[in-house]
A and B are shown apart, each in its own frame.
Chain A
Amino acid sequence: GQQLNQSPQSMFIQEGEDVSMNCTSSSIFNTWLWYKQDPGEGPVLLIALYKAGELTSNGRLTAQFGITRKDSFLNISASIPSDVGIYFCAGSGSSNTGKLIFGQGTTLQVKP
């Protein structure tokens, strides 16, 4: 089945640093999404990308839908302590099914 490879698996950075993480797939996706999960909570949607090459920002977060439709990256600029959590990429290969394929997650820790 479809799989997403997300990297890095974990990051430990200093407050104020920029962060970059990415996801790759062996198959094409029509939609790429990035979610964040805080401890003890469910994932929350950060950014949704619907078109190859699309670059979208949400505050300090920027994500891009790769031209090949097989990859996406998420950047966080000027990290702050509340950015701590697990970031998941997710892809959807077809519409109106909700069958998202999730990456394994990137655990981010920010040192004040």
Chain B
Amino acid sequence: DAGVIQSPRHEVTEMGQEVTLRCKPISGHNSLFWYRQTMMRGLELLIYFNNNVPIDDSGMPEDRFSAKMPNASFSTLKIQPSEPRDSAVYFCASRPTGTPNEKLFFGSGTQLSVL
């Protein structure tokens, strides 16, 4: 079975540009999570969805960040405008229906560099 699929794997952009990160969760999983990983702050939860509905976005750093989940098989995380401090690895994770919330399956991440 395919795992959580993220694209692109690497993104290099200039400050001020719009960045869109994409995620396809594992089929049948009803919860989706966006995490950010940096050396300074480690792994931080940005937002998560249950059944395509955003449940908690308290981790989203600023209004420049937005996330959508238009259907059960696709989610995007958008940064507009991007800034150098947004450089990090962004992970998407999904969780099977009816299992303990901790059993998250992570994608391989998107390495974002904002110059």
Q: A41-B109, A98-B95 are in contact. Are A103 and B102 (CB under 8 A)?
A: no
A91→B55 CA distance, assembly (Å): 19
Total A-B Cβ pairs within 8 A: 59
- Chain A residues with a Cβ closer than 8 Å to the other chain, count: 23
Find the A residue at minimum CB distance from B6: A42
Pick from B13-21, B42-50, B61-69, B70-78 the stretch touching chain A: B42-50
- B107 neighbours in A (Cβ, 8 Å): 42
- Choose from A45, A95, A96, A100 the contact partner of B45 (Cβ within 8 Å): A100
- Interface SS of B by simple majority: strand
Q: For residue B13, give the distance in angstroms from its CB to the closest CB of chain A.
A: 20
CB distance from B64 to the nearest CB of A (A): 22
- The binding surface of chain A is classed by DSSP as loop
Asked whether any CB of chain A lies closer than 8 Å to the CB of B79, the reply is: no
Given contacts A42-B93, A43-B43, A103-B42, contact A96 B106 (CB under 8 A): no
B7 is an interface residue with CB less than 8 A from chain A: no
Residues 17-48 of A at the B interface (beta carbon under 8 Å): 31, 33, 40-45, 48
- Chain B positions within 8 Å of A97 at CB level: 48, 55-56, 101
Q: Can you name 8 extra interface pairs (CB under 8 A) apart from A42-B93, A97-B101, A102-B43?
A: A41-B106, A42-B106, A50-B100, A98-B45, A98-B48, A98-B102, A98-B104, A100-B102
- Residues of B bordering A, CB below 8 Å: 4, 31, 33, 42-45, 48, 55-56, 91, 93, 95, 100-104, 106-109
